[in-house]
Structure 1
Amino acid sequence: MSDDEQPANRLRKELPDEVPPSRSPSADDPAGGLPGAGQGERNGVTGRQRLLKGLWPPRLTRAQLIVALLLFGLGFGLAVQVASNSDSDSALRGARQEDLVRILDELDDRTQRLEDEKQGLEKQRDELENSSDQAEEARKQTLEKERQLGILAGTVAAQGPGITVTIEDTKGTVEADMLLDAIQELRAAGAEAIQVNGVRVVAGTYLADAGNSVSVDGNKINAPYRFQVIGKPQDLEPALNIPGGVVQTLEKEQATVTVERSSKIVVDALRAAERPDYARSSSQ
């Protein structure tokens, strides 16, 4: 055996004895021999049948069902409304002239009744507004009167223009009656609120000597005596400086008196409201 024949024999031995022929797609096998292809046709189910099977029965979600019901209700309501309006229009078009006149008269009567009711309600509103205004004004006046009486009684604080009177008594010669004279002069000059060393002075205030000091309504106060007075400064200061008046009397006792005007004096010492023992209001 030659060298050229040996490779050929070796190649022939390595190849299998028989190679099966490859299968090519044909017209009878449109799936091309692929596995699973044409299985539907072999089972007797067509493409149209599979499509119908996928669409029916329908698979609705809860949200889709609710929307469908709402749309159905809306459409039904619109249909009923249109039918009702059509019936009303048809009834009016088919009514006799006498019926139309009667309907117009009824509408006029109803309009007049509503107008009368409107006017009555407006009148009641005006009366209520007027009565409310009067009641509100009366309430404001009552509150203002109560405030004024509270200032005089010393139960509420007060502020306003006035003067500050300071009495220096280094010798201890100032007595209670001298301070009482000063209070009376200030009241006569139009003082509306007075306090002395933090004690509110009212109509029933009394002063008494207490050794080298003075007692005001049982409250002991010491010099210097400081009066805070609310009123018209142009009237209060001259009342103290009249010849032979309070200032000259105190200066004779070697006391020093200083009067200062101010646009704002605060009287904030308060007294508890006292109920009279015998006096009662005569108003019913």
Structure 2
Amino acid sequence: MSDHEHDRTTPEPAAGPHSVPGPRPAAGGSLRKELPDEVPAPVSAPTPTVEDGGTPPEPPGSDLTGRQRLVKGLWPPRITRAQLIVAVLLFGLGFGLAVQVASNSEGDSALRGARQEDLVRILDELDDRTERLEDEKQGLEKQRDELENSSDQAEEARRQTAEKERQLGILAGTVAAQGPGITLVIEDTKGMVKANMLLDAVQELRAAGAEAIQLDGVRVVAGTYLSDSGNGVSVDGNKITAPYRFKVIGKPQDLEPALNIPGGVVQTLEKEQATASVERSAKIVVDALRPAKQPDYARSSSP
């Protein structure tokens, strides 16, 4: 082949409708790799804005210290819905605890404001009640021992039964009684004393160990009821008016302090512009009687 023939270039085939023109051969018989005219820059994530909940970008050239960055991150605060719900629940819990503590404090305010001699008197009254219960326990144990050791148990049983009947008769109001006690007189010139105040006095006397109570000729027993009746009070259907006179049998050293405790019967009556006077006595006679009522259905279970 001649040099002229080498210099001749073979014609390229015609490009078809789907053909891609290939790279043209470079001078010297080698192919030149062509680069694209523009290389696209990598896409970076968008910077969060303040509206999206992100931190606002710092201005260029700012040089913040660690403390300044901390303050900037905490303020202004960004409160979420969950944090708001937790805050409301904690506030409700704290308010409930505060109300409970306040109610307990009000219940103890009477004793907290009492004088030292009043507290000593209340403590002595509690000691006296404990002593009475211990004496009752010892009496019952003594009766049991007498029944177990007596040679004539039938006679001892009859004697104890008669004694028990007498004691129950006093409590039921069917038997007259006498013994040491107090007399309580309540003057009510303003007409402010109501049935509930007299009932409080009865309950306070019973708690202090009263064994027999008589109110203006009416024997007070377990089933006694009091109600307001015009300008007076009705006791078991019997109307009484001021001055109200209580005759109480019991230990005077226990009965009188029970009426004079702070916030007790005497102070309550004084707030209603009434006066109450208590007098101890070595002999109180309670002679108002109640008829013995035969039960309609209950019967003794003993043979």
TM normalised by structure 2 equals 0.49
Aligned length: 155
Corresponding residue for residue 182 of structure 2: 163
Q: Say if 1:173 and 1:131 are closer, same or farther in 2 by CA, change over 3 A.
A: closer
Q: 1:143: how far off?
A: 1.2
Q: 1:142: how far off?
A: 1.4
Corresponding residue for residue 192 of structure 2: 173
Q: 1:278: how far off?
A: 3.2
Between 273-282 and 174-183, the greater mean CA deviation after superposition: 273-282
| Per-residue deviation, residues 192-211 of structure 1 (Å, max 9, x unmatched) | 00000010000000001110
The answer (yes or no) to whether the contact 2:211–2:249 under 8 Å persists in 1 is yes
| Per-residue deviation, residues 234-280 of structure 1 (Å, max 9, x unmatched) | 11111111110111000101111000111110000000011223333
Matched, 1:199 2:194: no
Corresponding residue for residue 74 of structure 1: none
Corresponding residue for residue 244 of structure 2: 225
| Per-residue deviation, residues 2-29 of structure 1 (Å, max 9, x unmatched) | xxxxxxxxxxxxxxxxxxxxxxxxxxxx
- The AA in structure 2 aligned to 1:188 is A
Matched, 1:210 2:206: no
Where 2:199 maps in the other structure, the secondary structure is helix
Corresponding residue for residue 302 of structure 2: 283
Corresponding residue for residue 17 of structure 2: none
Among residues 161, 173, 177, which one is paired with 1:142 in the alignment?
A: 161
Cα distance in 2 for partners of 1:265, 1:131 equals 35
Cα distance in 1 for partners of 2:150, 2:179 equals 34
Unaligned runs of 5+ in 2: 1-148
Cα distance in 1 for partners of 2:196, 2:288 equals 22
- The AA in structure 2 aligned to 1:142 is T
Give 1 or 2 for the bigger CA radius of gyration: 1
- The AA in structure 2 aligned to 1:167 is I
Corresponding residue for residue 257 of structure 2: 238
- The AA in structure 1 aligned to 2:270 is E
Q: Pairwise mapping of residues 1-284 of structure 1 onto structure 2 (< 5 A)? A: 133-284=152-303
Q: Say if 1:282 and 1:136 are closer, same or farther in 2 by CA, change over 3 A.
A: closer
Where 2:167 maps in the other structure, the secondary structure is helix
TM normalised by structure 1 equals 0.52
Where 1:160 maps in the other structure, the secondary structure is strand
- The AA in structure 1 aligned to 2:260 is N
| Per-residue deviation, residues 146-199 of structure 1 (Å, max 9, x unmatched) | 100000000000000111000000111100000000000000111000000010
Where 1:269 maps in the other structure, the secondary structure is coil
Cα distance in 2 for partners of 1:247, 1:241 equals 6
Where 1:179 maps in the other structure, the secondary structure is helix
- The AA in structure 2 aligned to 1:263 is A
| Per-residue deviation, residues 40-92 of structure 1 (Å, max 9, x unmatched) | xxxxxxxxxxxxxxxxxxxxxxxxxxxxxxxxxxxxxxxxxxxxxxxxxxxxx
Where 2:283 maps in the other structure, the secondary structure is strand
Indicate the RMSD between aligned Cα atoms, in angstroms: 1.7
Q: 1:282: how far off?
A: 3.0
Corresponding residue for residue 29 of structure 2: none
Where 1:215 maps in the other structure, the secondary structure is strand
